[in-house]
Amino acid sequence: MRRVIRFRDLGREDVGLVGGKNASLGELITALGPAGIRVPDGFATTADAYRELLDTGGLRERIAEHVGRLHEGAPLPGVGAAIRSAVLATPLPAALERDVLEAYGHLARGAGRTDPDVAVRSSATAEDLPEASFAGQQETFLNVRGPAALLDACRRCFASLFTDRAIDYRERMGFDHLSLALSVGVQLMVRSDLAGAGVVFTLDTETGFPGVVVVSAAWGLGETVVSGQVDPDEYTVFKPVLKDHRLDPVVQVQLGAKRRKAVYGEDGSTTTVDTDADERARPVLGQGDIRTLAEWAVAVEEHYGCPMDLEWAKDGITGGLFLVQARPETVQSRRHGEVLRRFQLTGTGERLVDGIAVGEAIGAGPVCALAEPVGLERFPQGAVLVTGITDPDWEPLMKRASAIVTDHGGRTSHAAIVSRELGVPALVGTGTATEVLTDGQEVTVSCAEGAEGHVYRGPVAYEATETDLGSLPTTRTKVMLNLADPGAAFRWWRLPADGVGLARTEFVVAHQVRVHPMALLHPERLSAGDRRLVEELTYGYPDRADYFVDRFAHGVARIAASRWPDPVVVRTSDFKTNEYARLVGGAPFEPVEANPMIGWRGASRYYDPGYREGFALECRALRRARDELGLTNVVVMIPFCRTPEEADRVLAVMADNGLTRGANGLRVYVMAEIPSNVLLADRFAERFDGFSIGSNDLTQLTLGIDRDSGLLAHVFDERNPAVTKSIESLIAAAHAAGRRVGLCGQRPSNDPDFTRFLVRAGIDSISVTPDSFPAVKCAVAEAEREG
């Protein structure tokens, strides 16, 4: 009988012998170690060793007896406690003790240390299989030192196969408790208590988008990230440019609060302590480490042939990175990609709490606020679970919840992982949910509005729809998307769109930058209050211009990554002066206009001394997205360009800031929303590579109607012959000059007849909101069939 096997002698085919975790560690060492992936050395006990323990002193029969009591209605806590007590009271077989201590001695000699500190982890033999993820069901013990402590940790690992949460999970999944076995993995500790640790997924965990690697990181030992005790940093890495070391593949950096970290205690145990202000403000990982982890993750994914969920740790003494666990991702990778299920709020309500949205669904019910797990009889089916953080002990309650809301945790916390598996919407990292939400209060939890989710007071109406994407027709006319929120861009990757016809940067500026760009460059013109707010927002940026460039570039890059390599048309900022003034520090830089809709907006701002420096920051950010982050599918579009001469001035400013039309394949489009764009289409075509019709503004300026006027709403009509003739004229002139024409207005989403008109006129593309994409795609196909 083989009771103990070194990791280096294991492979992924040994799941039945040592469980998923330990088999994967062996696979990483043997198959990927030569490629530079580092895994701490260790060994594992076998399933045969566990079964030998069960055959000691009648342990198997006692466990079977207690499981029988459970099936007869005995309470789970009593049954679980009895089984664990029986396992702990049964001595380890002498041969197993001998083999474990002998392997520990070999490990110590290899590490050059006496009694090295090790991590002792449980690995069930059915764990991490695609059909049954046992993540977090059994125990892990860190910083275990010396033979006696190691043997005790092994006993506790064996007993943890029968924690209440593990028993409950197997009951739900239909596993026979005695048909499984448990392997104990013993692995050299990485001193991440002096550095940091976290997890890596080889897809976006919320949407299943496969084009990115998502790295989460916190200070100290990695248990705080997995357990949800901290809000970690999150780095999103774009896979297609990862191998080109001339490019920066990190398309998003989101710094977490990181208020706590797990470290070694004085007595050799682990403890959790507060982080300091510098740690909370500083990223855990630098660019080099992020790239290394992403490259390792992609290599592991390619080797396994499926999306992966990895854990990593950084040694604070040597600075070395290590992978400490690897398992297949078992939630998003199992979703059927042909069906798009969409939730949408149809009512409104008062927002009570905001947090990180996990999943894309909506749930509602009475709040059940708990500080610790309770019996199932005290948690109503369909209640909204509200608590500080969760761990595996909460899972019996979580499966009964209509939604989950926690104060702490990030996208890779326990609450997030389990809620995805259960298909339950969750808001994590809210900070204040347990203070704001009261027991019994009726609420609606929405994760269907992008990266940020919300809790609303009372029941708010919503609907759920399903679309069979495989049934959508193909069309000659390109159907593209209108997007604004980078946090929601990945949600729509399964839509068979032809790219993004309009990416609105106003959302990025208003929600991710928040500060008027001129206020970053000229803080001396700000009030004392605005200066303090700018200092808070830009903390960590010695050059505040870099803050704008980073936020803007990452927002654009995330949208562009979601549709790579299809074109993504990014419109430069098109706020009106009253909207710019509402940004932090904006008022001193904006005039008060009687009619901002036809005032100082779009192209006229970009070369004007009053905003030219701000536009230069936009250019720097767009250049970074294209030339440094590698998103060369970004097409730049200039809005509200009144004359060809104005176009020349804007293109000159762009070139001065490194955005030269034609360089590195850069295409520059112009919005066609002013009658002059139509009347002088041939001259605009000499300066731009394409047109995008903004039907709202074109209708407004053609008919002389304020599009926001309720009194004139009955006259405002994109189908007015003056407007439709302008559109036909523009398309003909643009095509004569070899230029493409698209339309990015709302009308095709609501009016199939207008869509038919556009197709008959020869439009090259129609860009619509994602929720209306299926209907418009079908309408375009029908119009093409009609000829």
Catalytic residue set:
414, 744
Sorted by sequence, the CB contacts under 8 Å of residue 716 that are 6+ apart come out as 699, 700, 703, 705, 707, 709
Q: Which two tokens stand for residue 482?
A: 């209108």
Sorted by sequence, the CB contacts under 8 Å of residue 328 that are 6+ apart come out as 128, 130, 304, 306, 307, 308, 309
Q: Which two tokens stand for residue 262?
A: 């797990």
Q: How far apart are CA 559 and CA 532, in angstroms?
A: 31
Q: How far apart are CA 445 and CA 459, in angstroms?
A: 9
Q: How far apart are CA 603 and CA 649, in angstroms?
A: 9
DSSP classification of residue 329: -
- Please provide residue 637's backbone torsions phi and psi, each rounded to the nearest 5 degrees: -125, 130
Among 199, 454, 450, CA closest to 326: 199
Angle, CA 88 vertex, CA 87 and CA 93 arms, to 5°: 75
Q: How far apart are CA 750 and CA 366, in angstroms?
A: 36
- Please provide residue 98's backbone torsions phi and psi, each rounded to the nearest 5 degrees: -60, -45
Is residue 698 a contact partner of residue 672, using CB atoms and an 8 Å limit? yes
Q: How far apart are CA 708 and CA 597, in angstroms?
A: 10
For residue 309, give the 3-state DSSP assignment: strand
- Stated as kind and residue range, the H or E segment containing 225 is helix 223-227
Angle, CA 508 vertex, CA 523 and CA 293 arms, to 5°: 105
Is residue 136 a contact partner of residue 121, using CB atoms and an 8 Å limit? no
What 264-273 contacts at long range (C-beta under 8 Å, 24+ apart), as own/partner pairs, is 264/143, 264/193, 268/117, 268/143, 268/145, 269/143, 270/142, 270/143, 270/193, 270/221, 270/223, 272/220, 272/224, 272/229
Is residue 45 a contact partner of residue 96, using CB atoms and an 8 Å limit? yes
Q: How far apart are CA 649 and CA 21, in angstroms?
A: 61
Q: Which two tokens stand for residue 435?
A: 């203070």
Helices (H), 625-670: 644-656
- Please provide residue 242's backbone torsions phi and psi, each rounded to the nearest 5 degrees: -65, -35
Q: How far apart are CA 464 and CA 286, in angstroms?
A: 41
For residue 130, give the 3-state DSSP assignment: coil
Among 634, 639, 603, 604, CA closest to 621: 634
